């Protein structure tokens, strides 16, 4: 269902028969809402989010492509998150068919202007789907369509903002003992020590070569998010905390308490595609009551 969202921007609403739903803006190919079958919002979206190009929407799931963060010469997180995507009415078949009935296929191709800042032609196809159980799946397929025979290289992230009740009651499981690059310390490499990860200050880390499954436990809400990923070896964990929150115009001063970004990403080893080659990167999110998860 295509309709008008904030500021008249086009948005697509996906609804699953059991009641879960998702909203996707063509601006950025950006998921801004994901609700379970009780109508509870599972993603964080800032009350100060600016729905106006060229500012990416603060919250939901921005797509970082062709560059993650400032790891390169392009604008922060690349340009895909602030371009207008199109609906792809005739997507090529998926290698594995999805059982989901609620889905949308989007496509992004570079404009003449984009080619000036990143001289590579590509087709970026993004399928967003809801499973009958309400899981949210994002599949990206990026193809090198360069006619000049040249390969291109990119980094990527699904910059997911999870909604949490109280960041100091949240822990992340699955990243213990891994190596990470710390953005707050000149991208230096460290090894995570000890138990599950908890939060008491600003964090901006890229965990390297992580397991395909990461859990985000919201103790207060008694909810666990399970993130499963494929083709995306790294995971970024970000919370701006108090000081940075205050410095961001499109983010409320206290909102850092109610969000956590855990981002399925490919950063440390950039992906190279030769002409005609396609890369696929997938993220699947589910939200389950914590009691069902004990022992995981
Ligand atoms: C994270 C980065 O993924 O995104 C942080 O690791 C960055 O360094 C954050 O501050 C937000 O970026 P932006 O461009 O959306 O403000």
Long-range contacts of 17-22 (CB under 8 A, 24+ apart): 17/101, 17/132, 18/132, 18/133, 18/134, 19/134, 20/130, 20/133, 20/134, 21/130, 22/102, 22/128, 22/130, 22/136
Q: Which two tokens stand for residue 128?
A: 């967003």
Mean pLDDT of the chain: 95
Per-residue model confidence (pLDDT) at position 201: 98
Decide: 136 and 104 in contact? Cβ < 8 Å: no
| Whether the bond into 66 is cis, omega within 30 of 0 | yes
Which listed residue (159, 173, 255, 268) is catalytic?
159
* Contact (Cβ atoms closer than 8 angstroms) between residue 275 and residue 145: yes
Distance, CA of 3 to CA of 227 (rounded, Å): 29
Asked about 159 being catalytic, the answer comes back as yes
CATH T-level topology, domain 2-90+101-293: Beta-galactosidase; Chain A, domain 5 (2.70.98)
Is ipTM > 0.95 here? yes
In angstroms, the CA 198 to CA 192 distance is 12
Q: How far apart are the CA of 24 and the centre of ligand 1, in A?
A: 20
67-90: per-residue pLDDT in tens?
Answer: 999 999 999 999 999 999 999 998
- Name 253's Cβ contacts closer than 8 Å, sequence gap at least 6: 242, 245, 246
Residue 26's pLDDT band, with cuts at 50, 70 and 90, is: very high
pLDDT band for position 292 (cuts 50, 70, 90): low
The span from the CA of 126 to the CA of 91, in Å, is 10
Q: What is this structure's pTM?
A: 0.96
**Of the residues 72, 159, 180, which should be mutated to test ligand 1's pocket, given the most ligand atoms within 8 Å of the CB?**
159
Would you tell me how many other CB atoms lie within 10 Å of the CB of residue 37?
Answer: 14
Q: What percent of the chain has pLDDT over 90?
A: 92
CA–CA separation, 169 and 167 (whole Å): 5
Digit-coded pLDDT (tens) for 122-146: 999 999 999 999 999 999 999 999 9
Higher per-residue pLDDT: 23 or 99? 23
Ligand 1-lining residues (CB < 6 angstroms): 56, 69, 76-77, 159, 183, 204, 236, 238, 263
* CA 206 to ligand 1 center in whole angstroms: 11
CA-wise closest residue to 250 among 2, 18, 57: 57
User: pLDDT exceeding 70 applies to what percent of the chain?
Assistant: 96
Q: Are 255 and 242 in contact (CB under 8 A)?
A: no
State both tokens at 255. 């909102």
Expressed in angstroms and rounded, the spacing between residue 3 Cα and the centre of ligand 1 is: 29
The ranges assigned to domains in the chain are: 2-90+101-293
């Amino acid at each position: 269902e295509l309709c008008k969202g904030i500021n008249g921007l086009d948005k697509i609403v996906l609804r699953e028969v059991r009641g879960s739903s998702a909203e996707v803006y063509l601006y950025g190919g950006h998921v801004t809402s994901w609700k379970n079958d009780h109508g509870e919002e599972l993603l964080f979206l800032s009350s100060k989010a600016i729905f106006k190009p060229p500012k990416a929407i603060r919250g939901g799931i921005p797509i970082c492509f062709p560059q993650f963060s400032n790891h390169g010469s392009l604008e922060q997180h690349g340009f895909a998150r602030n371009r207008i995507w199109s609906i792809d009415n005739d997507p090529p078949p998926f290698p594995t068919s999805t059982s989901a009935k609620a889905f949308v296929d989007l496509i992004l191709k570079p404009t003449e202007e984009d080619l000036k800042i990143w001289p590579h032609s590509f087709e970026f196809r993004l399928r967003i789907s809801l499973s009958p159980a309400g899981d949210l799946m994002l599949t990206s397929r990026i193809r090198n369509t360069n006619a000049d025979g040249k390969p291109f290289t990119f980094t990527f992230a699904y910059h997911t903002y999870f909604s949490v009740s109280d960041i100091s009651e949240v822990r992340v499981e699955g990243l213990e003992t891994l190596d990470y690059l710390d953005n707050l310390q000149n991208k230096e490499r460290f090894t995570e020590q000890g138990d599950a990860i908890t939060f008491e200050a600003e964090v901006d880390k890229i965990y390297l070569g992580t397991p395909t499954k990461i859990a985000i436990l919201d103790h207060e809400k008694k909810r666990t998010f399970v993130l499963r990923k494929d083709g995306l070896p790294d995971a970024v964990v970000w919370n701006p905390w108090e000081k940075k929150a205050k410095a961001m115009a499109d983010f409320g001063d206290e909102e850092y308490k109610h969000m956590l970004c855990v981002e399925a990403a490919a950063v440390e080893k950039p992906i190279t595609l030769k002409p005609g080659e396609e890369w696929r990167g997938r993220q699947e999110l589910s939200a389950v009551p914590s009691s069902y998860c004990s022992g995981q």
